[in-house]
Amino acid sequence: MKNRSISYSFRAAIRGIIFTFQNERNFRIELYIATFVFLALFLLQATLMQAAIIVTMTFLVLMIELMNTAIERVVDILKPRKHPYARVIKDVSAATVLVLSIGASIVGAIIFIPLIMNIF
């Protein structure tokens, strides 16, 4: 197996992020939300622990969206014709994004609601 350079690996990863950004509306929405959330962390003066939790949850959502995109593309290649399992695989993959997003939203609410309440 050929040993790849670290710069090649980074370029490949960046290409994957760019592809997903250009082709997946949900990923773009999640990036916009992430930007808003990071700005809110700063403006609401979250603690380092609160920020670490929110940043971790945000990057987990982005990561699972990238994995969802990869899974969908693999299914499209392996089963280009309609197959009942292809739909199930895609649906379950999308469900992982949904479940993690709901969990991240709950964690966000637990952290952000008290920070917002402290302003008033």
- Give the catalytic positions in this structure: 65
Q: How many CB atoms lie within 10 A of CB 115?
A: 16
Contacts of 101 (CB under 8 A, 6+ apart): 30, 61
CB 44 within 8 A of CB 116: yes
